[in-house]
A and B are shown apart, each in its own frame.
Chain A
């Protein structure tokens, strides 16, 4: 059984359904699974619950799924780059569960690692702690956060092979390794599909066991905040 598919649409075939939960890699617009997001948009699937650090911008990234109101709830740490998000949220059309960035990353990591919950000092004494179990360890107070397991993980890597082994490039790694493990099924899009055996075996970030399907995509890699200095 091959893990390799021709494109995003075929790689998602049979996996999408209304109301499902999706963990999407990326930080801002960097390292986002652009091809898979586009294919999810075209599928018309609705009522999605999406865990992703950000919500894209109005016309790119996960913002595309907001345009057609395909998302019911976002689990994110920061959505300040997306005006459409703000409009839908303030109009009560979209639910947001804010998670501190490190808590979100650890929830996905823990979920993928079979850990149903963990204690963290992050958010103690804030709105985030309301309704959560508090426990003291060694004189400091912590709150219980739950591991996150999602129906589908969608990730973007630099290079991948037919076994599903993935490597990421620079800060485009971000949440992708966590989302790969948190997905009950994970689909990866790669910039380069390379022959098995050519990746450095000691530098594989996501071992193939976490990836059920993958394909080589084409990537716009839009830059959100181009900042330069004089040469």
Chain B
């Protein structure tokens, strides 16, 4: 089932098209990566999902019906531009933001007590936000994003500005939330930071969606069938034992081992490579070189530009 989908979304600002016929489908329970360079239109799309701005054209659906204003209570949003009232007390502020998401005061107090205890910040309840360290403010920020247990969570550039310890905590909590049934959308230009987490992605460039789908399927599709082999000392030329169509991308040394990166012809399996190598060398390891999202993105963009 799709928890959210946007169909043929177009948004035009005065002289600039922010989104051009963009369609995305977010499967329920997935971690969905909305990827693309800065200025591609990701934040515009996310603001449309959060009903902060309205699209010029296109349909939005939530839980397989039309997206409604009250659905904001089922969506948690951590914007890229985020912050808290500096002069307000932490607890009071968290209560306020939780109530704005539709929780009753009592329910909000109960849940905040749980989260504040979990992050060990209960003693800061009556302190002003400006007295908190940046890291603690980020914890509070995260709590108020998830406090209403939304079915859909949206994080825009989630790891920018977070220190490494908090990034790990954040990743862990996000996986916990997914385990309890939430769907997560990540939007970022830093593809490496989320690709290990995402199971679905959409690539956006210049206001258009250029690629989307299951991460595994995309990676298979863009696989170059390249493998990296670590092996023991070998005095012959590698070229002499491999057929013509096996391309040696590079060779070198890594500590005590020789390393070679070899691109196999299509339809050839790594087993074929192993059987060719085994009579001559002692193999220490063999790994597939999986293209990163960044590589795939550059690949798709250059292909498209070449096609035009």
Do these two chains interact? Answer: no
Chain B contact residues, CB within 8 Å of chain A: none
Chain A contact residues, CB within 8 Å of chain B: none
